[in-house]
Amino acid sequence: MPGTVATLRFQLLPPEPDDAFWGAPCEQPLERRYQALPALVCIMCCLFGVVYCFFGYRCFKAVLFLTGLLFGSVVIFLLCYRERVLETQLSAGASAGIALGIGLLCGLVAMLVRSVGLFLVGLLLGLLLAAAALLGSAPYYQPGSVWGPLGLLLGGGLLCALLTLRWPRPLTTLATAVTGAGLIATAADYFAELLLLGRYVVERLRAAPVPPLCWRSWALLALWPLLSLMGVLVQWRVTAERDSHTEVVISRQRRRVQLMRIRQQEERKEKRRKKRPPRAPPRGSRAPPRPGPPDPAYRRRPVPIKRFNGDVLSPSYIQSFRDRQTGSSLSSFMASPTDADYEYGSRGPLTAGSGPPVRV
């Protein structure tokens, strides 16, 4: 992180040839002349550093977004500002605008795709630890070429990225604490030494000869691991004690699996219900069979005449009717009593004597 900020500073604001601060003795007082834009950037770095250092794992999604934004914007800015794009040398403002737009996309991808965000967080942790190792070994080791520091940075970054994918919670806590402490140390370096420690990191990465560090630089460098340790302890015991984003992801996956199982069970029950033949009703409650289609050769018969309880002829009426008949009509009526009775709605014999009324 100090190397990134220092690189941006020396590309946007190139150092003067007669830089009196670089390689000056520690007893020489520093003439601090701050500028508005670098001071504002360092203040923002300090604020984000506090959030990273002490609330990193609690603000998990925000950390993933800011990490993706940082990587995307820095890489694209260096490519656009150092290289020619479409045969045109872009200015610092145009390069910053392009880098910010692509950095926002990278931040969204890192926030939405959890594995990508964790990989970038682990990669940042490895780069910072490799840079700290190069700074700590300055009095004892001087790299002969740029490949040594570059290999250390790449190896440490990939190793920490893979370990973060394997153990996300502890290494995310460590990465956010180290990153936040580095941002705070960088902001303090600007206000104390005008980014001399950042320039020292850049020169070490280039394998260039560097003068020894002053006690102020060593004090700022010691502030980095101290704040990192404090950030890890605060997150472990206070801010991120009961938070677990891994459990949230696992619970969502379990919920989806349970819903999928419930749907499968319902589908199986529906298939079994369709394949099962319809059950016959019990004997006591058997429904009457439905009438089938009529036979085309079937001819409907006329409805028979219905008889009611009131269709009764009294014997006196029959006797009076019989007395009125004379001659041949009487003989014909007596010859066929059943037919005459049928004509008037009675099936009883007309010669019946007195007795109870006859029901038809």
What's the pLDDT score for residue 306?
64
Other Cβ atoms closer than 10 A to 4? 21
What 3-state DSSP class applies to 24?
Answer: coil
What are the two backbone dihedrals, phi and then psi, of residue 358, each rounded to the nearest 5 degrees? -95, 130
pLDDT at 308: 57
Q: Which amino acid is at 178?
A: V
Task: Please name the residue ranges forming H helices in the chain.
Answer: 2-12, 36-55, 60-82, 92-112, 114-136, 147-166, 168-193, 196-205, 215-234, 245-275, 315-324, 327-335, 337-343
Token couple for 291: 């009438």
pTM of the model: 0.58
Give the pLDDT confidence score for residue 178 in this predicted structure: 92
pLDDT at 159: 92
**Positions of the chain with pLDDT under 70:** 1-31, 81-89, 240-253, 276-314, 326-360
Q: Output the pLDDT for position 219.
A: 84
Give pLDDT tens digits for 225-256. 899 999 999 888 887 665 555 555 555 667 77
Q: Taking a C-beta distance cutoff of 8 angstroms, is the pair 77, 96 a contact?
A: yes
> What per-residue confidence (pLDDT) applies to 235?
87
For residue 87, is it left (φ>0), alpha (ψ between -120 and 50) or beta?
A: left
Closest CA to 77 of 168, 179, 4, 175: 4
User: Of 175, 191, 184, which is closest to residue 235 (Cα–Cα)?
Assistant: 175
Distances (CA, A) of 302 to 296, 298, 348, 360: 17, 13, 25, 21
| Residue 345 DSSP label | T
Structure letter (DSSP) for residue 243? -
Give 24: exposed, middle or buried? Use CB within 10 Å, 0-12, 13-18, 19+: middle
pLDDT (0 to 100) of residue 247: 53
- Nearest Cα neighbor of 74 from 50, 107, 116, 112 is 107
Predicted pLDDT at 347:
47
